[in-house]
Chain A
Amino acid sequence: MFDTIENWALHAFVDGELEGDEKKAIEALLARDERARKAVAAFAHQKQELHRAYSAILDEPVPAGILAAAKGNGRPRLTWALSLVAGLALLGVGSVLGLNIAQHFDQVQQASLANRALVAYQTFAPEVRHPVEVAASDEDHLKAWLSKRIGTEIKIPDLQDAGYTLLGGRLLAEADHPAGQLMYEDANKKRLTIYLTQNTGAKEQSLALADSPGLVTCYWRDGALAMAISADMPHDAMMSLAKNIYDQMDDKS
């Protein structure tokens, strides 16, 4: 349309960047060239449209949160407050924001229970040749061995009704206390694990869910045991399976 210099000069003209001879040169161009006039009109029209769309905001009252921040007394927003709580919890720092230290510590423990179960699942569930240390054929031995090492009596739930067959289990090394992993498999070779460890704090914790990509973990603490079930399944299916397992572990018979 125009050579390069004139093209940018038209923008500069519209934006009030030109003075003196440069400005006069463009005015002369506009007087004789309709395409240049149209281009300048189009750029100016864009400016009008932008103002029509956005400039009403200049007359709006400024939201209170922004005003408070500008006066130097902004409060942390929810996301910050949550990360602050998480940060304090990780540090084990004392009672801030009205929550006590024990609560923080519990949250950390819970998170780490689900997390340790997840790591164990990710490590061993994909194993083709060595998914377990002790096979299901040795179930009695597995139960006795894990009970002894974990330090409390465990049961090995029967999940046949849910379509999962026991493959076996293994002992897991953990920083504080040994843990155990039971592995199951359904007809499509999809695996499910149960992570078991001593409930050292002897705190009760009802069933809770933790999501990670392609995996859901349901965990709880009851009596002497802390447990976490990990599998790739919908939340409702996981909850009903977890309740089934919970009942079997609780059965005193």
Chain B
Amino acid sequence: MPSPEFQRNLLVELPHLRRFARALSGDAALADDLVQDCVERALKKQHLYDATRPLRAWLYAILRNIHISHWRQNAPWGHLKNIDDLEGFEGSVPAEQEHNLSLALITDALNHLPPQHREVLVLISLEEVSYREAAEIIGVPIGTIMSRLSRARSTLQRILEEGGTTVLRVVK
């Protein structure tokens, strides 16, 4: 049985897990499936959790592993689905939907990043984990984290600048 304290702490982390999963996968339904799988696995593997370490980082690592195996199984369809989701968003979007547009734009931009760059960017720029934590979650040296982060940001910058012109054209 999971300890009450572990469960309480787990509940606190759920919103952050959902945000991480959403940005990692770009798909709201898939993201919540990932979170649910992650939570179930965390409860099952509770004895492996080192209580001196941050719970959130441990959960991110579990969720990331589930996402990778899911992604390997479903990559072609996942990609098609993302394209479908975005279809038509470049058409006529009212200015008041700017938030949604920003979400679509950033999701589209993230979809263009290699998965190894995307996860580093999401962990550091959105979830704001330290470089060391990111290295532990992903299981690579800090130097690798920094070079992936740098490349992810360069690519994202280019896409956002190109997309920025699209936004201006669309909301005009």
Q: Is the CB of B10 within 8 A of A57?
A: no
Interface string of A59-98 (1 = CB under 8 A from B): 1101101110111101001000000000000000000000
Total cross-chain contacts (CB, 8 A): 101
Q: Encode contact with B along A35-66: 1 for CB under 8 Å, 0 otherwise.
A: 00000001100110111111101111011011
Task: Enumerate chain A residues within 8 angstroms of B75, measured Cβ to Cβ.
Answer: none
Partner of A47, one of B10, B39, B126, B150: B126
A15 within 8 A of B: yes
Within the complex, what minimum Cβ distance (angstroms) separates A22 from chain B? 13
Contact B39 A66 (CB under 8 A): yes
Chain B: interface secondary structure?
Answer: helix
Residues of A within 8 A of B125 (CB): 15, 43, 46-47, 50
> Are B107 and A53 within 8 A (Cβ)?
yes
Task: Check B32 for interface membership: any CB of A closer than 8 A.
Answer: yes
B30 within 8 A of A: no
Interface residues on B, range: 35 or more
Chain A: interface residue total (CB-CB under 8 A): 32
Question: What is the bound-complex CA distance between A15 and B103, given in angstroms?
Answer: 22
Of B49-57, B76-84, B88-96, B153-161, which binds chain A? B153-161
Other contacts beyond A51-B126, A62-B15: 8, CB < 8 A: A17-B131, A43-B153, A54-B103, A57-B15, A60-B15, A69-B43, A71-B11, A72-B1
Using a CB–CB distance below 8 Å, which chain A residues touch chain B? Answer: 7-8, 11-12, 15, 17, 42-43, 46-47, 49-55, 57-60, 62-63, 65-67, 69-72, 74, 77
